[in-house]
Chain A
Amino acid sequence: MSGMVERRGAAYWLTHVGLILGVAFVFFPIWLAFVASTVTQAEIVRPPMPLLPGRHLVENYREALVAGVNVPVARMMFNSMVMALGIALGKIAISLLSAFAIVYFRFPGRKVFFWLIFLTLMLPVEVRIVPTFEVIAGFGMLNSYSGLILPLIASATATFLFRQFFMTVPDELAEAARVDGAGPMRFFRDILVPMSRTNMAALFVILFIYGWNQYLWPLLITTDPRMNTIVMGIKQMFPSGDDLANWPVIMATSILAMLPPVAVVIFMQNLFIRGLVDSEK
C-alpha cells in the first residue's frame, strides 16, 4: 500500500496537501496572535489587520513584560512558573513515597488507603470548587502559592503510575538489597529512584503543562493581581466596559503564555509522548 503512495502519483500529493491544510488550520490562530504582537494598536483596530509581522515586536513585548496592564507580565510568568513547578515536583514527590509504601510494605490500612486514593482519580478541581475554595480561605491561603498548588496535587494519578512501574521492578533487586542489609530507604534512594528517572521525567513534562495551563483555580483564589498567573491574567487585561483592549500587549502576553509549555513539548517530545501515553494507561 505504502509503495503505491510513494510512487508520487496524485495520491501522494493529495496526502501532503491534506496534511499541510491541517497544519495551516492548527497554526493560523497562533500566527495571527504573533502578528498582532508585532504591530501597533492602530493597525489592529482598523480591520483587516496585516497578516505579516510588523516592526514593533520588541516594544510590545517589553511593554507587556515590564508594565503589562494590571501587573507586569514578568510577574505573572514567575507566578505560573512557581505554580507549575510546585504542582509537578510536589505531586511526583508525594506519589513516589506513597507508591513505594503501597508496593513494598504490608501495613494496616493499606487496602483502605489504596481504594481511597483510587477514588480521587479523574475528579477535577472544577467539580468541587466552592468547598475547596472555603477550605483555602479558612487556612488564609488565598493569594498564596500554597493555595495555588496544594489542591491540585491532591489526586492519585501519579501514585498509580509509579505503582504500576514498581510492580515491574524485579523482586531480585529488593531481595538483594535485603540480603546486603540495606534498609528500605536505602533501597528506595539508591535503586528505585534512579530506575524511575525516565518515568519521573515523563510525568514531570505532563504535570508541568497541566500546572502552567490552570485557569479556573487561579481565577478564584488570586484576587490580588500580583498573584495572578499568566494564563488566567490574560482575560483580566481586557477592560470591563466598552473601552478598547490593548491588543498588541494582550497578544504578546498570549504568546508568552504558551512559550514555556510549547517549548517543553517540542524539546522533550519523546518524554512528552511517553508521559501522555503512561498517564492515560
Chain B
Amino acid sequence: MAAGMEKRVTFKGIWLPLLLVAPQVVVTAVFFFYPAGQAIWQSLFIPDPFGLSSRFVGLGNFEFLLSNSYYRASFVTTAIFSILVTVVSMGVALWLAVLADRLIKGSGTYRTLLIWPYAVAPAVAGVLWMFMFNTRIGVVTWYLGKLGYDWNHVLNGTEAMGLVVVASAWGRISYNFLFFLAGLQAIPRSVIEAAAIDGAHFWTRFRTIVWPLLSPTTFFLLVVNIVYAFFETFGVIHTITAGGPQQSTTILVYKVYADGFVGQDLGSSAAQSVILLAVVSVLTVIQFRYIERRVHY
C-alpha cells in the first residue's frame, strides 16, 4: 500500500518529522512491541514454582499445549462459538436489512432504532442476558419453566453455550445491519427492476442478483465478525459463565486470562498469546488482501 502512493510536495527537515512520530513510536514500543516480544520470549520458558527463575524449554510449552486436551477442547469451543455468533448475528442482520431495504419510507427510522445497541458493551450485554436467564429469578427462565422446560445454563454446557452465543450475537446485529443495508442500497435499482419485469420473484431475485452483488460486504463482515467473536467477547463470557460449566464456554482468549491471571501459569499463557497472535495475523492478512483486491477493482 505504501509504495506508489507518495506526495509530490513535501517539507524539508529530519528532526521535526522524527519529533512528530516520537510519541507514537514510544507508546507503541513500550506498550506494544515490548509486551509482544515478552510474550514470545516467555513462551519459551517455564518459571519455577517460586517465580525466582525460569528454565528454558524451547517449544516445550507449545508441545504441551497442543497435546493438552483442555487446550484442544478450547480450540473447538472457540470455533463453534465463533461460527455460531457470526452466523446468528449476520443472519438476523441480513434478514432485517433486506426488509428495511424494501421500504421507501421509514427505513431511516428502523435504522435509528436498530443501530444503537452497537454502543452497548459486550460485558453489559452479558449482564442483561444473564439477568433474563438467571436460574433463580430470570423472567425467561420462569416462562420457560411454565412451558415445562427447565433452563439451567449454570449446569448445562449446551445451554451455557447457547446463551453466550445469543448475548454476543445480539450486540453485533446493529453493526452487521448497517453494513448490509448500505450494501443493499448500493445495488442499482434498475438491475432489480429489470429482473422484476422479467417476472423473477423476490426469492429468485435475491438468490441470483442480490446475494452475488452483496458478496463483498458479506465476506468483509465474515472476517470482522470472526475477529469480534474471537477477541471482543471476553466480557460476555466473563459475566455470564466465567468459562463454565466444566470449561464448556472457555474460548481461547478466556483461557489466556484464566491460565495467566487466575492459574498463574505464565509460560503456558504466553505460549497461548503467541498462538493467538498468529491467528490474528492470518486474519489480518486475509482482510488486507481482500481489501486491496476491492480497491483495485
Q: Establish whether residues B143 and A48, one from each chain, have CB atoms under 8 Å apart when the complex forms.
A: yes
Q: CB-CB < 8 A to B123: which residues of A?
A: 213, 215, 231-232, 234-235
Give chain B interface residues in 131-186, CB to chain A under 8 Å.
131-132, 136-139, 141-143, 170, 173-175, 178, 182
B284 near A107 with CB under 8 A, answer no
Instruction: Give the distance to chain A from B176, nearest Cβ to Cβ, in Å.
Output: 11
B122 and A128 contact, CB distance less than 8 A: no
Does A122 contact B31, Cβ atoms closer than 8 Å?
no
Contact check, A15 vs B114: say whether CB atoms are below 8 A apart: no
- The reply on B2 being an interface residue by CB < 8 A is yes
| Cβ-closest chain A residue relative to B294 | A281
CB within 8 Å of A: which B206-261 residues: 220, 224, 227, 231-232, 234-235, 238-239, 253, 256-257, 260-261
A-chain residues with CB within 8 Å of residue B227 when the two chains form the complex: 122
Q: How extensive is the interface on chain B, given as a class? A: 35 or more
Contact B119 A209 (CB under 8 A): yes
Measured in the bound complex, the distance between the Cα atoms of B220 and A269 in whole Å is: 22
In the bound assembly, the distance between CA atoms of A80 and B42 in angstroms comes to: 32
Chain B residues with CB under 8 Å of A23's CB are 110, 113-114
Which residues on the A side are within 8 Å of B136 (C-beta)? 45, 47
How many residues of chain A have a CB within 8 Å of chain B? 109
- Contact between chains at A120 and B32 (CB < 8 Å): yes
Contact with A19, one of B30, B100, B193 (Cβ below 8 angstroms): B100
How far apart are the CA atoms of A81 and B222 in the complex, in Å?
32
CB-CB under 8 A from B11, the residues of chain A are 104-105, 174, 178, 183-184, 187
Q: Is the CB of A45 within 8 A of B137?
A: yes
Q: Which residues of A contact B54 (CB under 8 A)?
A: none
**Is A130 within 8 A of B127, CB to CB?**
no
Tell which of A44, A113, A123, A154 touches B27, judged by Cβ atoms closer than 8 Å. Answer: A154
Residue A171, interface by CB 8 Å: yes
Q: Is the CB of B178 within 8 A of A276?
A: yes
Most buried by B among A102, A103, A126, A153: A126
Specify which chain A residues have a CB less than 8 angstroms from the CB of B260 in the assembled complex: 129-130
Kindly identify, within residues 1 to 51 of chain B, every residue whose CB is under 8 Å from any CB belonging to chain A.
2, 5, 7-11, 13-14, 16-18, 20-21, 23-25, 27-28, 30-39, 42
Across the interface, B7 reaches (CB within 8 A) one of A104, A183, A258, A276, namely A104
Chain B residues within 8 Å of A214, by CB = 121
Is the beta-carbon distance between A262 and B104 smaller than 8 angstroms? no
Q: Identify which of residues 168-223 in chain A touch chain B, using a CB-to-CB cut-off of 8 Å.
A: 171, 174-175, 178, 183-185, 187, 209, 212-216, 219-220
Interface of A is mostly: helix
State the Cβ distance, A64 to closest chain B Cβ, in Å. Answer: 14
Instruction: Give the CA-CA distance A128 to B280 in the complex, in Å.
Output: 12
Residues on B with C-beta less than 8 A from A89 are none
List, sorted by A's number, 17 A–B pairs whose CB atoms are closer than 8 Å: A26-B113, A29-B125, A49-B137, A104-B10, A108-B14, A117-B24, A117-B28, A126-B253, A126-B257, A127-B276, A128-B32, A129-B257, A171-B8, A215-B234, A254-B127, A258-B119, A281-B291
A contact set with B: CB distance below 8 Å: 1-2, 4-6, 11, 15-16, 18-19, 22-23, 25-27, 29-30, 32-33, 36, 44-45, 47-49, 51, 93-95, 97-98, 100-111, 113-117, 120-124, 126-135, 150-151, 153-156, 159, 167, 171, 174-175, 178, 183-185, 187, 209, 212-216, 219-220, 231-232, 234-235, 247, 250-251, 254, 257-258, 261-262, 264-266, 269, 272-273, 276-277, 280-281
Question: 5 extra interchain contacts, Cβ-Cβ under 8 A, other than A117-B28, A135-B31, A178-B9?
Answer: A1-B205, A29-B129, A216-B257, A234-B127, A265-B115
User: Ordered nearest first, which 10 A-B pairs have the shortest CB separation?
Assistant: A213-B121, A131-B38, A261-B119, A131-B35, A105-B17, A215-B235, A101-B20, A101-B17, A154-B31, A184-B11
Residues of B within 8 A of A (CB): 2, 5, 7-11, 13-14, 16-18, 20-21, 23-25, 27-28, 30-39, 42, 92, 95-96, 99-100, 102-104, 106, 110, 112-125, 127-129, 131-132, 136-139, 141-143, 170, 173-175, 178, 182, 189, 192-193, 196, 205, 220, 224, 227, 231-232, 234-235, 238-239, 253, 256-257, 260-261, 266, 269-270, 273, 276-277, 280, 283-284, 287, 291
